[in-house]
Amino acid sequence: MKRPVRERAHAIRLSAPPLESLSTTALWDLHTQGLAQFRHQAPPTSGEHSWLSIKRALATRELEHCNFCVHHCHINRIAGEKGYCRLDAQAVISGAYVHHGEEAPLSPTFAIFFGGCTMHCVYCHNWRETFALEAGQAVTPQALVTAIVQHRESVRTLSLIGGTPEPHLHTLLTLAEQLPHDMYQPLVFNGNGTLSAQGLMLMEGVIDIYLPDYKHGNDRCAWRLTQITQYTASLQHNLLAYQAQGARLIVRHLIVPAHLDCCTRPVLEWLALHCPSAEISLLEQYRPLYKANTRPEIARRPSATELTQAKQWLTELALKTV
C-alpha cells in the first residue's frame, strides 16, 4: 500500500524552542522551512519538532483570529467568538463511522462528519446534521483517533467530511499527528473548496486525496443558491492548488435541475481545460430538500434528459471519471 503523505510530514524535523513559546510569525517561519524541505523532497532531518507538530501548533494558534477559509472572519474562536461557520474552538460532529457510500476507490471509508459549513446551500442534503450544531456531539481528536484505530482493518480510506472540514483544521491536524505511524490509509479531504491561502498551506503534506465539490459555474448562481461571494475565483484557485500539491484530485459535480447550461457545462469545460488529470464524479441524486422549494426552478429532481446531457458533455470533453 502506498505510504500516506503525512508520513513525510512526520519525518521532516526542525529545531526550535518549545512551540508554545514561539510567536505566530516564528511558527509560520518554521512552517515555511518545512514546506521547502517537503517540496524539494529533502532527506530526513533532525530536530525537536516534526513539521506536522508545527502545523498543529499553528492551526491552534490561528484559531485566535481564524482565517481557515475564504470568509476570513479573523475572530477569536478560542475566546468563544463565532464567524460565518458558527463554530468556536470545540470540534462538533454528527457522526463517525464506517461508510460505504463514497466513490468506489474510496469505499469503505472511516468517515468523520464534522458540523458546520462555509457555504449555505438552499438545497443542502445534510442540512440537519450540518446546521443544527446544538444537536451535534462534541469530540476530541483523541476520541476520533481511538475510533479510527478500532476500524483500521475494515476501511480503505479515512474521510474528513461535513458540512465541510475547512473550519476544523486544528482538530484534523491534531488527529493526523496522532494517527499510528503504521496506519497507511490515505486521508481524504471532502470539502467545498473554500480553504484560504493559509488553510491550503496547512493542509499541504497532510492530505492524500482532495474530494471537492464544484457546484456552480458562475458567481450569480453560487450567491443565489449557496450564499457565498466570489465563488468561481476562490474555488478555481483551490482546485489548482490541490493539483499543485500533487495530491489525487476527484471533483464532484451535483447536477442541479435547470442549471445545466449556466453551471454544469461551464464547470466541466473549465475542468477539461485546467484539471485534465482530475477524476470527475457526476452526482445524480439531487432532490429538492431543505429550502429548495423557495427557488421554483430547482424544486424538482433533474429530468432524465438533463442527466443524459450532463453525461454526454462529460464524454465529449474527454474528462476522466472516477
Binding site for ligand SF4 (CB under 6 A): 66-69, 71-73, 75, 83-85, 87, 118, 166-167
Alpha-helical regions (H) of 245-320:
265-274, 304-316
For the CB of residue 169, give the shortest distance to ligand SF4 in the complex, in Å: 8
Cell of 61: 494558534
Calculate Rg over the CA atoms of the chain.
Answer: 20
What is the spatial distance between Cα 168 and Cα 112, in angstroms, rounded to a whole number? 11
For the CB of residue 278, give the shortest distance to ligand SF4 in the complex, in Å: 25
For the CB of residue 116, give the shortest distance to ligand SF4 in the complex, in Å: 7
What is the spatial distance between Cα 44 and Cα 51, in angstroms, rounded to a whole number? 11
Side-chain-facing half-sphere of 238: CA atoms under 13 Å = 29
> Hey, which bits of the chain come out as E strands?
13-14, 49-50, 91-99, 109-114, 137-139, 157-161, 187-189, 209-210, 248-254, 279-283, 320-321
Using alpha carbons, select from 226, 304, 280 the residue that is nearest to residue 70: 226
What is the spatial distance between Cα 53 and Cα 58, in angstroms, rounded to a whole number? 9
For the CB of residue 91, give the shortest distance to ligand SF4 in the complex, in Å: 12
281 and 104 in contact (C-beta within 8 Å)?
no
For the CB of residue 70, give the shortest distance to ligand SF4 in the complex, in Å: 7
For the CB of residue 174, give the shortest distance to ligand SF4 in the complex, in Å: 16
For the CB of residue 168, give the shortest distance to ligand SF4 in the complex, in Å: 8
**CB nearer to ligand SF4: pick between 68 and 131:** 68
For 213, which DSSP code? Answer: B
Strand order across the 320-321 sheet: 137-139, 91-99, 109-114, 157-161, 187-189, 209-210, 248-254, 279-283, 320-321
For the CB of residue 81, give the shortest distance to ligand SF4 in the complex, in Å: 8
**CB nearer to ligand SF4: pick between 73 and 258:** 73
Indicate the SS3 state at residue 80: coil
* CA quadruple 24, 172, 286, 288: dihedral sign: negative
**CB nearer to ligand SF4: pick between 52 and 202:** 202
251 and 279 in contact (C-beta within 8 Å)?
yes
**CB nearer to ligand SF4: pick between 82 and 291:** 82
Q: Name beta bridge partners: 13.
A: 50
**CB nearer to ligand SF4: pick between 87 and 275:** 87
